Amino acid sequence: MKRLLAATAAVLAIAAPAARASAGVYTDDLTKCLVRSADAGDQTRLMQWMFALIALNPAVQPNATITAQQREGFDRQAAALLQRLLTVDCRKETVAALKYEGSSAIEASFRVLGEVAVRGLMSDPKVAGGLQQLTTYIDPEKIAEVGREAGLADQRDKPEK
């Protein structure tokens, strides 16, 4: 039962972003191990699974076409990845984190792994270009106004180095 709860916590940590709680030393060790152990291919598989999961939401579903066969493949790959990371690559860190900090350590660690994978996804030139396109629709003066209201110096007012 505890294993099922830990696995469920790991899946929820990846799928549902939440406020980051302060992590203990064992959670930190597990997080470092997960990030170190998940290569670019693993991170891609994680992002594919997350995309397929997000595509189930009715607000997004009309914009994504994922077959049942594809979804099953993504689920299988993500499950194999989670299982490998927790039971092989980072077994020692997983045991210690669960023993001393509970299942929330799994959730917090996988949240960070998900964030790392998203950063990798966002660094792709096509994705970065799409993100840059968004800025063409934002009024920089309105953003600067909010910054000034918050007491931040306007970036345009700073001397260049």
pLDDT tens for each residue of 71-90: 999 999 999 999 999 999 99
What is the average per-residue pLDDT within 48-60?
94
What is the average per-residue pLDDT within 110-130?
90
Cβ neighbours of residue 136 closer than 8 Å, sequence gap 6 or more: none
pLDDT band at 127 (very low <50, low <70, confident <90, very high): confident
Torsions phi, psi for 51 (to 5 deg): -60, -45
Residue 39 has pLDDT above 80, yes or no: yes
Q: Is residue 147 within 8 Å of 154, Cβ to Cβ?
A: yes
pLDDT tens for each residue of 85-115: 999 999 999 999 999 999 999 999 999 999 9
Is the entire prediction scored with pTM above 0.75? Answer: no
Q: Residues for the chain: how many in total?
A: 161
